[in-house]
């Protein structure tokens, strides 16, 4: 069973989170469920990784947190929304990804080659 190593994901958890926040604000638990769902269970972000990413990104000005009540349950949650800097950062990371992918693939052998 091939598994994704955290060393590869490292540096892209932020991008995943921002990708989800692009359209609308959300909060921790919901984001983690969304990531699991989108990746079809192939990647499950650890809680500590998630919340440390939040505080890092808020410190860097990519996110803003605010308390809000969950629309469905009415419970108080800590929501996060993207800032303009966050959108810019996300777009840059997407460009960086294309380059990184290209470079790494120069050193990868496809199955059967």
Provide the binding-site residues for DNA, judged by CB under 7 A: 6-7, 9-14, 27-30, 33, 45-49, 51-54, 56, 70, 73, 75, 77-78
CA distance 73 to 83: 26
* Residues contacting residue 102 through CB under 8 Å, at least 6 positions apart: none
- The verdict on 108 binding its own copies (CB under 8 A) reads yes
Among DNA, its own copies, none, the one that 111 touches (CB under a kind-dependent 5 to 8 A) is: its own copies
Among its own copies, DNA, none, the one that 23 touches (CB under a kind-dependent 5 to 8 A) is: none
CA distance 17 to 26: 10
Answer positive or negative: Cα dihedral of 38, 42, 46, 51. negative
Element containing residue 77 per DSSP (H, E): strand 76-82
Among DNA, its own copies, none, the one that 70 touches (CB under a kind-dependent 5 to 8 A) is: DNA
Q: How far is the CB of 72 from DNA (least distance, A)?
A: 8
């Amino acid at each position: 069973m091939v598994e994704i190593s955290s060393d590869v994901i490292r540096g892209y958890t932020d991008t995943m989170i921002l990708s989800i926040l692009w359209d609308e604000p959300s909060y921790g638990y919901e984001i983690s469920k969304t990531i699991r769902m989108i990746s079809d269970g192939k990647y499950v972000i650890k809680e500590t990784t998630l919340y440390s990413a939040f505080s890092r990104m808020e410190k860097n000005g990519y996110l803003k947190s605010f308390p809000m009540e969950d629309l469905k349950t009415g419970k108080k949650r800590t929501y996060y929304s993207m800032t303009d800097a966050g959108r810019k950062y996300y777009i840059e990371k997407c460009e960086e990804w294309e380059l990184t992918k290209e470079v790494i693939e120069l050193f990868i052998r496809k199955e059967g080659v």
